[in-house]
Structure 1
Amino acid sequence: MMLFKFLQKTGYFSRRSAIRAIKYGLIKVNGKIIREPWFDINEEDKITFKGFEIKMNMPVDYIIYYKPSNKVYFPKEIKHLIPLENLPKSDEGLIILTNDSEIHRAYYKGFIKNKYLVEFSVPISENVNVQNIKISQISRNKAIITTIRIKVNQLKKIIPTIKKLKRIETEPIVLPVDLKPGRYRKMTDEEIIALKRILGII
């Protein structure tokens, strides 16, 4: 089977996005980057996308995961899912994982807000004039930061005094107060619908 055909059958990709992912070097076959969409694969090959193994005809899942700080691995039960937006090792908080390709495509094209509870090494001012970043001060050394299309590593370069960071919301999904670090749960039907609505899917 040709590689791009396999990607389509996983449910993650359209034909166009499969070919693009391959040409951008995001797909590995048995640990080796393959940039040829028509590359021939067989059933024994291990295919990964951004480090996550993918398989054909997998059931669609939607997961809310509370990533602990200083952890980089997901629980084995949800390793087949891909995060909408990951967090660096040192940080904690909400990660949404799914193998719904439509949600992934809409998320990367959209302008979804992420909110973080942040502690600073020195007092911070709300008057940080950076596009797509809003700071709502809680105390001299704490704030809620809202971002649009800015990854955590980029945020830390813009505001290098960030000492501790916890993602508390990926619009419209809020990190549940009863979810402990390292634990996860399935999204409710209401949460899935709300996410799809804000992404413009429904």
Structure 2
Amino acid sequence: MCFSATASFLTTGLTAAMGLASLRRAKTWRELPLALAPVFFAVQQGLEGLLWLNLPAAPDGSLSTGLAFLFLVLAEAFWPIYAPIAVMLIEPNQGRRRLILACVAAGLGVGTYLLWYIVNWPHGAVIQDGHIVYINGTKHGVVVALAYSDEAGHRFRFEAGQSFRFHSGRCSDLKPAIFRTDPGSR
């Protein structure tokens, strides 16, 4: 998690175990992407745990930079694309699948855009006030931030008529990049 190596590694272990249990319970190929979601989240949290261990020793080192890059790719580019596709695959209702397709399109647009920025602009991570703050070399516009937060908050809304929302608090997992600290404000 975004507040200690111990929390990150504990989350890694628990979500990996849940992912393996989910994979065993998946009955069709359409359920596999959703069942794999905890495994991908475990990888993301494992990367963050490694960052907690490495940032104090070598904040500008190649390992810290690589771990921050991989974390940002998962948190900002992978999830907006992957999650709505996983939900769309398990939705039995054709009408709701068409609605979820709008989330897939938004996720593809936002995820691709954010991946481009992660690859082409400086990025990194710092420990600040007991949290890891992920830094990207640019600020994203309000439209991108709103699309990201809207897509992240609504991607599970159509599944089985339920309404689920993510709230990331101070953690960076699903937080729009516009709210991150930029290098000039340190």
Give the TM-score normalised by structure 1: 0.28
Give the number of the structure whose residues are more often helix, by fraction: 2
Give the number of the structure whose residues are more often strand, by fraction: 1
Give the TM-score normalised by structure 2: 0.29
Larger C-alpha radius of gyration, 1 or 2? 1
